Amino acid sequence: MITDSFKHKGLRRQMIDYLRTKGITDERVLQAMNEVPRHFFLDSSLDVLAYQDRALSILCEQTISQPSTVAFQTQLLNIQEDDKVLEIGTGSGYQTCVLCKMKAKVYTIERYKPLHNSAQELFSLLKCRPKCFFGDGYLGLPYYAPFDKIIVTCGAEKLPEVLLQQLKVGGMMVIPVGSDTQTMYRITKTDENTFEQEAFGDFKFVPMLQEKKFR
Ligand code: SAH
């Protein structure tokens, strides 16, 4: 049985202090990340590394984003209680769980079945209740749109127009765009067909894949 020991809690607190030094000031983000046991989302062999600021391997040759990136993307979204949030790339489920702890209503899509399945087991263990979908995040979730916020946790070659359509007016999308490395963008929908774009430095994500056979 996986447990959240005093050692893990201590390491997590150190991670939060570190995130503060990295410019994370949204206390709700820091509190949520202090609550979510990141080591639950990793293979037990990676347990000791879970609270370092590193991206680590998960199933299907994917990675869990590094804590500073999770904190940065979440902070950019200015998450409010009851925000309806769409996440593209459930992966381990860690980011999803952070959003749930902030009391957002989370809809998350993953294209690899083993990740989709293992994340759902962790959500019930940690008492998170996101709506989980298996499929291509490029299409978003038209049936559940519009969303207050959209977070893309894989690198998109270009901005997916379909996702912008699924934002509410006043809503925001945070997305890394680029092929080898990505620039983090925050797009705000200011009117039905008007968007404002801000850029926030370079990151490295696993690619957002399109039209590949789903597993
Ligand atoms: N938020 C995740 C990050 C995982 S890495 C976490 O906290 O662990 C990004 C994830 O995006 C991978 O699991 C990958 O399979 C998924 N992904 C890539 N392209 C996708 C697409 N088109 N639709 C849905 N998920 C996608």
Q: What is the pLDDT of residues 108-128, one digit of tens each?
A: 999 999 999 999 999 999 999
Regarding the beta carbon of 110 and ligand 1, being less than 6 Å apart is answered yes
Of 182, 181, 189, 183, whose CA–CA distance to 163 is shortest?
A: 189
Q: Has 65 been annotated as catalytic? A: yes
Q: CB of 59 closer than 6 A to ligand 1?
A: no
Q: Is the pLDDT of residue 214 over 80?
A: no
Catalytic residue among 44, 45, 57, 65: 65
> Is the pLDDT assigned to residue 161 strictly greater than 90?
yes
Confidence at residue 193, expressed as pLDDT on a 0 to 100 scale = 92
pLDDT tens digit sequence for 67-101:
999 999 999 999 999 999 999 999 999 999 999 99
Q: Residue 111, exposed/middle/buried by CB under 10 A (0-12, 13-18, 19+)? A: buried
CA distances from 89 to 14, 15, 102 (A): 27, 23, 19
Helical packing angle, 113-125 and 94-101, nearest 10°: 40
Helix ranges (DSSP H) in the chain: 6-21, 27-35, 67-77, 94-101, 113-125, 161-165
8 A C-beta contact, residue 106 and residue 100: yes
Give the pLDDT of residue 48: 86
CA of residue 90 to ligand 1 center, whole Å? 5
pLDDT of residue 190: 98
Question: What is the Cα–Cα distance from 80 to 73, expressed in whole angstroms?
Answer: 14
The overall average pLDDT reported for the chain is: 96
Q: Which amino acid belongs to residue 36?
A: V
Contact (Cβ atoms closer than 8 angstroms) between residue 120 and residue 131: no
pLDDT at residue 215 is higher than 80: no
Q: Which of the two residues, 211 and 185, has the higher pLDDT score? A: 185
Q: Mean per-residue pLDDT for 15-28?
A: 98
Q: Report whether 94 contacts 67 (CB < 8 A).
A: no
Is ligand 1 within 6 A of the CB of residue 176? no
pLDDT at 210: 82
What pLDDT sits at residue 42? Answer: 97
In this predicted structure, the answer to whether residue 59 has a pLDDT above a threshold of 80 is yes
Tell me: pLDDT of 212 over 80: no
What is the C-alpha to C-alpha distance for residues 202 and 180, in angstroms, rounded to an integer? 10
